[in-house]
Structure 1
Amino acid sequence: MTTQQESAVRKPHILEVGVLLVCFLAIAFSFTGIFGLSIQLALFIALFMAILLGLRLGYTYDNLQEALKEGIFNGLEAVLILISVGALIGTWIAGGVVPSIIYYGLEFIHPSIFLLATVILCAITSLATGTSWGTAGTAGMAMVGVGEGLGIPLPLVVGAVLSGAYFGDKLSPLSDSTVLTASMSRVNIVEHIKSLLYVSVPALVISGTAFTLVGLNYTSESIDLSRVESIMAAISDTFSVSWVMLLPAAIVIGLLAMKKPPVPTIAFGSLLGIIWAFFFQGTDFITALGTAYGGFNLDSGNAFMDDLLNRGGITSMTGSVMVIILGLGFGGLLNHIGVLQVLVDSFTRFINNVGQLSVATLLTGFFSNVFGCAMYVSLILTPKIMEKNYDRLKVDRRILSRNTEVGGTLTSGMVPWSDNGIFMASMFGVPVLQYLPFLWLNFAAIGLVILYGYTNTFIWRTEATTPQPNAE
């Protein structure tokens, strides 16, 4: 905008912000919960609501359209990953990778420790690869299949998968969200991870213990072993099952652990799935190639297995891609016209201690996910909005980066229309509000951040030259 145009633009009033956001939430919840309409339509309408407010504030339409496009552009990597994971799932099922993992999981994992094993496996995978999405699409997808075979409630299994996936994603130096948060907070990446350990490790212990206790309810006596045996028999009758089938998963995880770019790495994994389907499953090459786009289709006569394995493909991600594009555009508009800044300023002015500062940071991250519709929006905006409050109270920036990561990364999967929420719900076929109560690591981490803030535990001040837990 020119200087003259900038002078004609004003900030939105809190009433205007409130009306816009209340209308958005009313449309989003009524469309999805009452009328059975898609969240995509709600977001499409919300775009024009934000544009109308921008015009009222003095912005030109051309300027608002540029902000919309910029918001979408900033999250296109997430769209590419989503498309790649869709292709990966379709080809890995066709290639016998996912069926083999499910088969061996049903054979070797005892039901009572299944949930804990899921948390640990996904945590290790996410630490090694640096991606919660990649973990969900590989190890997570397989563990969900095992859990369904054992008769464990699917939302509970998804909660265990995501607890492990988000634990590793926050602590891995390979994670784009971890690097972004440290960079935006102006904190060394190693120091950022060290600070997160004080929250993440206790949260993992708490959630792991909870999943272990719940898992004790699922024993060999409580599980219908005949159902498990029938599923294993159906898998072995339909697919060639062997340890060789696990090689594509090991290769992809290894490449991600070597910090190779996620999109080509996951796409390469899809190619391996096609090759495995052709050589080991007896599928003709064209049909195997088609599963990358249209997903895997099976009519085995076993309703459970057909429902479990008939999924994947790029087309299965179309709705999720649309939500992410519209959500990123909406978030870009809200950020550009100052809606998010006004919203956060309305409660950050009352911050007088570290406890209030921690809660405000968590709320900023959460609201950025709710109204920005993307984790990246939250991780970029939260440090920018909150940093002056940390400097004013002389709280070390490592606390800012830690709280931003918890408030931004761990709440993204809790919002049905955020990029993480849409991805995970589409991946596992479980609505966000169903798996939300079982995100125990996320809730434990949020609780620890608030506890540390109000008790001044593991809070470091800028006067200290080295971290001093419990320092004032």
Structure 2
Amino acid sequence: MKERQATRLPTMQEVLALMVGFIAIMFLYINVFDLPIQLALFTSWFLVMALGLRLGLSYDSMQKGLIDGIHNGMEAVLVLITVGALIGTWIAGGIVPSIIYYGLSVMNPQIFLCAAFLICAITSLSTGTSFGTAGTAGVAMMGIGYSFGIPLPLVAGAVISGAYVGDKMSPLSDTTVMTASLCKVSLVDHIRSMALVSGPAALIAALLFLVVGFFYVKEGADIQRAEQAMQALNAHFTINGWLLLPAAAVIALLIRRYPAIPVITLGAVMGAVCAWLAQGVELLDAVRTAYFGNAMQSDVDFLNTLLNRGGIESMLGVIALILFALGLGGLMERVGVLQAICNGFLRWANNPGRLTVSTMLGGFFGNFFGGAAYVSLITASTITEKNYDQQGIDRRVLSRNAEAGGTITTPMVPWTDGGVFMATTLGVSTLGYLPFLWYHMLVILISLFYGFANIAIWRTASSDDTQDAPSRAAISTANS
């Protein structure tokens, strides 16, 4: 703290120069030199450190900020490890193939996109985890969509859109609970406020996926690929209804709010047991799939594309990327870049519309530079919270906008934990599925519309504004 008082915050010119340097490094490493994105983020550490040294910070102080940033996101890393093990054993155990098989047998291709969105939305609302949803129901939906001949980026858009309905709205979601806590809003009030945005966004997104499904998949469409996939699944796996029980058990335990990491690990163990007992895999080989993933050779592209994946090993590159991104976020926080941006927003955001924009940009910057939803929620909630109080706008509006700018934009940035996880798990690049994240885009647009149209912008009891008296009375009652 003493060191922070002895240094200065970066100027906006220095912040802009840092942003330009960061974007240049990312572009050159990825598009020109064809180097891994992990190296680009690692190099960016030293760009931020150079600014920190210019501002008078010591290396030890900046290293502590880097380590703190990594520490704050370690839960996501542990979830990645367990989900990687689960995907590997669930494929080898025939759990994912059985879900795909039965899905192909009962689902109409024309309504598939809407159904995939709704299934993933219900799963995520029930479990509170977008990662768990994408790694289980999402992988199965990708297989079904592939068999119907629907482009995988479009299927991934439906899966991720549904997965983030619950990540943003479920009382079981860590980001939902965290945002309510950061904004000092009760969890119930936070969810009710978000429902005014997420409800219409989810409804419109479902309709869009339904319309596109009917438009893209003509009535009486050729389902020969789906039939071939079912035959191939039958040939390579034992398909049985009881193999769905591990998936049902994992979802049920998550619904009952048991910790995600041991529950997902238990699911991986059940997958290995299924591979041993149901698929005839040697016990040690079944256990190995938890680390190395499933491996099989088939003449069917569908099986080779979708079912040769999973395992902890497949997540190691993702984990390295997330660690670099989290470290970068911790450095940004320690050097004062985020605080400098906050101060700039304080002068500009003088009405509800601009306040909404500034909060959402704060969340996006947290994802862009911090690489994780946790960082984005902190930046979104802290950058403009004083402005909400000064303008007499209720904190429920802050919490709603923080989720719209933080949680929602996480899978839109290729190097965030959410972006990397979704791309790796579903086999579609971030830029590939980005145009089809219709739920995410609708949440952002509706939030902006509410801000500039002054809709659902509640005033606090201390505000001089005389409108929305019923809301003020409700707030006073809730606070008492």
Tell me the equivalent position of 1:467. 471
Q: Does 1:143 align with 2:134?
A: no
Q: Deviation of residue 233 (structure 1)?
A: 0.4
1:287 corresponds in structure 2 to 285
> 1:8, CA displacement in angstroms?
3.0
Q: Secondary structure at the match of 2:406?
A: helix
Equivalent in the alignment of 1:307: 305
Give the gaps of 5 or more residues in structure 2.
Answer: 462-467, 476-480
CA distance in 2, matches of 1:203, 1:411: 15
Report the 3-state secondary structure (helix = DSSP H, G, I; strand = E; otherwise coil) of the residue aligned with 1:47.
helix
Which residue of structure 1 aligns with residue 464 of structure 2?
none
1:437 and 2:441 correspond = no
**How far did residue 465 of structure 1 move?**
7.0
Which shifted more, 320-329 or 339-348? 339-348
Aligned amino acid, residue 137 of structure 2: A
Q: Would you say the 8 A contact 1:328–1:372 is kept in 2? A: yes
Partners of 1:394 and 1:468 lie apart in 2 by 11
Decide which of 383, 386, 409 is 1:385's aligned counterpart. Answer: 383
Aligned-residue offset at 1:301: 2.1
Is 2:117 aligned against 1:119?
yes
Q: Partner of 2:224 in structure 1?
A: 226
Alignment check: 8 A CA contact 1:86 1:314 kept: yes
Distance in 2 of aligned mates of 1:119 and 1:32: 32
Q: Contact (CA 8 Å) 1:102, 1:142: kept in 2 or not?
A: yes
Q: Deviations over 1:193-248 (max 9, x none)?
A: 01111001100111111101100024465744222211110100111101111111
What residue number does 2:31 align with?
33
- In the alignment, which residue of structure 2 is the partner of 1:427? 425
CA contact (8 A) 1:171 1:193 kept: yes
Cα 1:37–1:193 change in 2 (3 A) is same
Q: Give, as a single letter, the amino acid of the residue that structure 2 aligns with 1:301.
A: D
Deviation at 1:7, TM superposition (A): 4.1
Does 385-394 or 214-223 show the bigger shift?
A: 214-223
Kept in 1, the 8 Å contact 2:460–2:472? The answer is no
The Cα of 1:381 is off from its aligned counterpart by 2.2
Matched to 2:471, the amino acid is P
CA shift at 1:34, angstroms? 2.9
Residue of structure 1 in register with 2:465 after alignment: none
Counterpart of 1:344 in structure 2 is 342
Alpha-carbon distance, 1:468 to partner = 7.2
Between the aligned partners of 1:105 and 1:26, the Cα distance in structure 2 is 45
CA distance in 1, matches of 2:219, 2:232: 22
Specify the alignment match of 1:66 in structure 2. Answer: 64
Q: How far 1:345 moved relative to its partner?
A: 2.5
Pairwise CA distance, 1:6:
4.0
Shift of 1:52: 1.5
Matching of residues 184-333 of structure 1 within 5 Å = 184-219=182-217, 223-333=221-331
How many Å separate the matches in 1 of 2:459 and 2:5?
39
Determine helix, strand or coil for the equivalent of 1:174. coil
Change (3 A) 1:183 1:462: same
- What is the number of residues matched between the two proteins? 468
Aligned residue in 1 for 2:150 = 152
The answer to whether structure 1 residue 359 and structure 2 residue 357 are counterparts is: yes
The CA distance in 1 between the partners of 2:469 and 2:284, in whole Å, is 63
Q: Is the 8 A contact 1:96 1:241 kept in 2?
A: yes
TM, length-normalised to structure 2: 0.95
SS at match of 2:294: coil
The answer to whether the 8 A contact 2:345-2:383 is kept is: no
Quote the offset at 1:24 in angstroms: 0.7
In the aligned structure 2, how far is the partner of 1:8 from the partner of 1:457? 44
Cα pair 1:295 1:310 within 8 Å, conserved? yes
CA distance in 2, matches of 1:458, 1:16: 37
How many angstroms does 1:20 deviate by? Answer: 1.3
Q: AA paired with 2:282?
A: D
1:355-401 residue CA offsets vs partner (Å, 9 max, x unmatched) = 11111111111111111111100112221221101011100000000
Q: Provide the secondary structure at the position in 1 that maps to 2:412.
A: coil
Secondary structure of 1:410 counterpart: coil
2:394 aligned to 396, 407, 421, which one?
Answer: 396
Per-residue Cα deviation, 1:386-437 (whole angstroms, up to 9, x for no partner): 1101011100000000000111000011001111111111111111111111
- TM-score after normalising by structure 1: 0.97
Superposition RMSD in Å = 1.6
Question: C-alpha offsets along residues 291-320 of structure 1, whole Å, 9 cap, x if unaligned?
Answer: 000000011222221121000000101111
Letter in 1 for 2:120: C
Q: Is the 8 A contact 2:9 2:339 kept in 1?
A: no
Match of 1:166 among 164, 174, 178: 164
Deviation sequence 1:71-110 (CA, Å, 0-9, x none)? 0000000000001100000000000000011111111110
Aligned position for 1:53: 51
Distance 1:222 1:26, change over 3 A: farther
Give the counterpart letter for 2:274 in structure 1.
W
Which whole-Å CA distance do the structure 2 matches of 1:220 and 1:250 have between them? 33
CA distance in 2, matches of 1:218, 1:447: 25
State the 1:344 CA deviation.
3.4
Q: Hey, what's the Cα distance between the residues in 1 that align with 2:384 and 2:341? A: 12
Match of 1:368 among 366, 381, 385: 366
1:89–1:295 Cα contact (<8 Å) kept: yes
**Cα distance in 1 between the residues matched to 2:22 and 2:203:** 38
